[in-house]
Copies of this chain bind each other. A is one copy, B any other.
Amino acid sequence: MLIGEYTHTLDEKRRLSLPSKFRKEIGKKVVITKGLEGCLFVYSTKQWEKVTSKLTGLSLGQANTRDFNRYMLGSAVETDVDPIGRILVPDFLKYFANLQSKVSLIGVHDRIEIWNEKAWTNYKGRVEKQADVLAEKLGEIGAI
């Protein structure tokens, strides 16, 4: 279970240390892909295979299937974790998530999210303000 929040540095060579607490669980090879709300998702290869196995079943004939495949696969990159626990963030993903030098790494169950630090702070602030509202909605649907 990946949990916790860390701030690390994305250096000029686009290298990013994964928090040491995440390394064991995430493994030596990971897949980085576009997430939601402008962040990146990092999956272990095992987790990633679960995702792709569902994609390959979809047929080429349908336009929105092609759209979705291009989005999921075109925006993903498989990359090795180097011997001291760093990954390389491709340019187009760095650009997509608007990453600067300081980035936030968030453990979310079975994936890691990578955020522009400020975007994460903002997002967190907004969600915290709405916490009571969210709790009520979740309560309504019986989630908590």
Contact = CB atoms under 8 A, between A and B. Distances in A.
Interface of A: 1-5, 31, 34-37, 41, 50-52, 54-56, 63-64, 66-78, 90, 92, 106-109, 113, 123-124, 127-128, 131, 133-135, 137-138, 140-144
Contact of A109 (B36, B69, B137): B69
A74 B138 CA distance: 15
In the complex, the count of this chain's copies comes to 2
A128 B71 contact: yes
Contacts of A4: 74, 76-78, 90
Contacts of A1: 52, 73, 78
A92 B36 contact: no
Contacts of A75: 5
Given A68-B134, A127-B67, A141-B51, A73 B36 contact: no
Given A41-B143, A55-B141, A128-B71, A134 B36 contact: yes
